[in-house]
Amino acid sequence: MIPVRGYAGRKVAVLGLGRSGLATARALAAGDAIPICWDDGEAARTVAHDEGFTVADLSRDAAWDGIDALITSPGIPHLYPAPHPAIAKAWQNGAVVDNDIGLFFRSFATQEWDEFERAPRVICITGSNGKSTTTALVAHVLRAAGMSVQMGGNIGRGVLDMDPATDGGVVVLELSSYQTELARALSPDIAVFTNLTPDHLDRHGGMGGYFAAKRRLFAEGGPERSIIGVDEVEGRYLAQQLREETATGDPVIRVSSGQKLSGDGWSVFARKGHLAEWRKGRQVASFDLREMAGLPGAHNHQNACAAYAVGRSLGLGPRQIETGMRSYPGLRHRCQVIATINGVRYVNDSKATNADAAEQALRAFKNIHWIAGGVPKAGGISSLIPLMDHVTSSYLIGEAAPAFAQDLTDFPHEISGTMQQAVASAHSAAQPGDTVLLAPACASFDQFPSFEARGEMFEALVAALAG
């Protein structure tokens, strides 16, 4: 646990009592603050009460007597489409509003660091797609190189639930736009921007607000090294803003999947399955990504480029990084190869909850038996029609099945209805060399409580097929 500094003897409200909220309350108490907790759900309030925390309805003025700050969980709106009532009350009563990321950055560094031989490092990774895989890949590569690594944030452990810093230790954090937008303190040593595609626009008031939330990590965080994906215009803009007015472009490393990056600056890119590092106008390292089972497809090659750039920024050699990547098993529910049965590959990409994410998976394989459907997102799957030459047949489940069937009128498909039927049909039809791919392009909440639960059912059904 990271005890929160700066609030000893003071009341601090905690809004939202899930994984990060409870960890925040405990860390505040460890720093001698007085947590006042609230959650809109009665079950979460009961858990907090049973742990000994004071619970008070923060939507009422009476609860705010003596409270100096409000720490809110990332899923709770604070601006758009409308502030949560408790956040509005915090403003009215003069309490500052922050989140656990802000508390982490004000509390992680301590006087004990003066005794360390090597300063701890914090790496933060944000973006629309690929940030979870990039975070997990960075942590894996660094551990394989013998470093002491903790991973958390939007994946794994809550930031305040982590252990205090150790000599030379590295913390790798995945940060969502919800987390970067509100944090009052941001000070990463290395920050990574993977890419930007439309998402969470209702929470940010549009694409400009969404990009601005991501940009705070760099513009206000002031990292020593910025690793920027430049395959979209926002990334190119950000890289240009952060680079120095020199030929080297320090402290920026540009990364890309699919294009060769020119110029004298530091760049890492993947083309035709090969990763290349260029500095000062010449290639300094290269290796083949195509046989790395945990990193299938061009979208994962972009993740690999970003992770490689992190490793190089921390002083690892190219072969050290390559060796670590070869042993990376893949991140669960994210284009993860879970089995090969009679020559048929089974891939769990349950995290592909929109068409943009499903597109990456469809590009990564051929001869696909595609399982899709759930609660449809705006736009449906019409954007995926040009990729149907990769798909042998589709198996549609959940609420979206009838609408998706209309989009796929000209292509082989079946309205399976359930995951069980879809897996059975795909297994029956697949031939050696084919891929059965779960990439739903939908939310899960019609038939499953989460994308994880959806992926777990797929894994269980495939395991039963394997005997």
Count of domains observed in the chain: 3
- Of 269, 232, 228, 229, nearest in space to 251 by CA: 228
Q: Which tokens is 259 given? A: 């294009």
Q: What is the domain extent for residue 141?
A: 108-326
Residue 73: per-residue pLDDT? 95
End-of-domain residue from the set 302, 326, 350: 326
Residue 114: per-residue pLDDT? 93
- CA angle (25 as vertex; 179, 448 as ends), nearest 5: 60
Q: Are residues 140 and 218 in the same domain?
A: yes
Residue 297: per-residue pLDDT? 85
Residue 388, domain member (yes or no): yes
Q: Which tokens is 96 given? A: 């500052």
Q: Are residues 87 and 206 in the same domain?
A: no
Residue 331, domain member (yes or no): no
Q: Which tokens is 153 given? A: 């944030």
Q: Are residues 91 and 122 in the same domain?
A: no
Q: Are residues 84 and 114 in the same domain?
A: no
Q: Are residues 306 and 388 in the same domain?
A: no
End-of-domain residue from the set 279, 306, 326: 326
3-state secondary structure of 341: strand
Residue 197: per-residue pLDDT? 86
Question: 272, exposed or middle or buried, with CB in 10 Å at 0-12, 13-18, 19+?
Answer: exposed
Q: How many residues are there in the chain?
A: 467
Residue 379: per-residue pLDDT? 83
Residue 429 Cα distances to 160, 181, 203, 413, 422, angstroms: 48, 47, 42, 12, 11
Residue 467, domain member (yes or no): no
Instruction: List the binding residues.
Output: 127-133
Q: Are residues 94 and 114 in the same domain?
A: no
Amino acid at 142: L
CA dist 180 and 387 (Å) reads 34
Q: Are residues 415 and 349 in the same domain?
A: yes
Looking up residue 50, the CATH number of its domain turns out to be 3.40.50.720
CA dist 261 and 254 (Å) reads 8
Q: Are residues 87 and 235 in the same domain?
A: no
pLDDT in tens, 53-80: 999 999 999 999 999 999 999 989 999 9
Q: Are residues 123 and 148 in the same domain?
A: yes
Residue 451, domain member (yes or no): yes
Instruction: List the binding residues for ATP.
Output: 127-133
Q: What pTM was computed for the model?
A: 0.88
Q: Are residues 122 and 84 in the same domain?
A: no
Looking up residue 351, the CATH number of its domain turns out to be 3.90.190.20
Residue 315: per-residue pLDDT? 97
Kindly tell me the sign of the dihedral angle through the C-alpha atoms of 288, 169, 256, 293.
positive
Residue 103, domain member (yes or no): no
Q: Give pLDDT < 70 ranges for the chain.
A: none
Residue 3, domain member (yes or no): no
Q: Are residues 55 and 117 in the same domain?
A: no
End-of-domain residue from the set 283, 303, 326: 326
Residue 56, domain member (yes or no): yes
Residue 263, domain member (yes or no): yes
Q: Are residues 351 and 409 in the same domain?
A: yes
